[in-house]
Amino acid sequence: MRAIDAALPDRLVRRARAAISRIGAERLRSSYFTTFWLPSGAEPEHSLEEAVLALWKLAGPRACAGAEWWVGRAHTTRIPVGFHFDQDVKGRTLRHPELSSVFFFNRVRGGQLAVTDQVPGSGPAARLETIVPRRNRYAVFRGDLLHGVLDVRGRTPGRPLPGPKGRLRVTLVVNFWRRRPTDVPTWRESGVYRSLSRRQRSR
């Protein structure tokens, strides 16, 4: 796993974060399951896709047809996904992205990205690495590795934890694919997060 600090120009980070703020609570509970496709060579529709393209250069995937991206928003007392493999969820065959990656917008209590060395069909993981959320930090790892988000205590998440929700963990998740995953729309095709289009692109 690679971790890159100060990954994006600060101005782009601010504009991308402001765009996420405009989304408000839209699809908050299904944030991790609302994904979009940005094909290779496409022009960005808004500041989040500008960020995806900038991260694409840092990740350096090979023979990439495009990027699947989504906004990850969750409280670390209520992590909505367990440890998992990124894959073509709706496809007929098991496929994984070439690279998976997570860009962090803010610090939170807990919320570490945890990546293991376990691949599909292998035995249990023998190694685990974690990345602590920090503003403008970018983590890149192989797309077939078991990974997840730790809770507010820094542990494997289970049921929602009691007490205050705390600060919202905000990320931009980008997976790079050799072939487009099944039924993943472009942002324009999806019809959601329309407020993202209100942007001023940098010159």
Encode pLDDT of 86-144 as tens digits.
999 999 999 999 999 999 999 999 999 999 999 999 999 999 999 999 999 999 999 99
Q: Is the pLDDT of residue 37 over 80?
A: yes
Does the residue 187 lie in any domain? yes
Q: Is residue 62 in a domain? A: yes
CA distance 108 to 135: 10
Q: Which CATH number covers residue 37? A: 2.60.120.620
Asked, for residue 203, whether it belongs to a domain, the answer is no
Label residue 202 by pLDDT band (50, 70, 90). Answer: very low
Q: Are 176 and 38 spatial neighbours (Cβ–Cβ below 8 Å)?
A: no
The residues, ordered by sequence, that sit 6+ positions from 159 with a Cβ below 8 Å of its Cβ are none
Is residue 203's pLDDT more than 50?
A: no
Residue 65 lies in a domain: yes
> pLDDT, tens digit, for every residue of 156-179?
998 889 888 889 999 999 999 999
Phi, psi of 127 (to 5 degrees): -145, 145
For residue range 74-90, what is the model confidence (pLDDT) as tens digits?
Answer: 999 999 999 999 999 99
Examine residue 173 and state whether it is found in any structural domain, yes or no: yes
Work out how many domains the chain is built from and give that number: 1
Provide the 10 A C-beta neighbour count for residue 124.
8
pLDDT above 70 coverage of the chain, percent? 97
Q: Is residue 157 part of a domain?
A: yes
Range of the domain at 153: 2-197
Residue 182 lies in a domain: yes
Banded pLDDT at 14 (limits 50, 70, 90): very high
**Tokens standing for residue 91:** 């496809």
8 Å CB contact between 137 and 2 = no
- The predicted model scores a pTM of 0.95
202 occurs within a structural domain: no
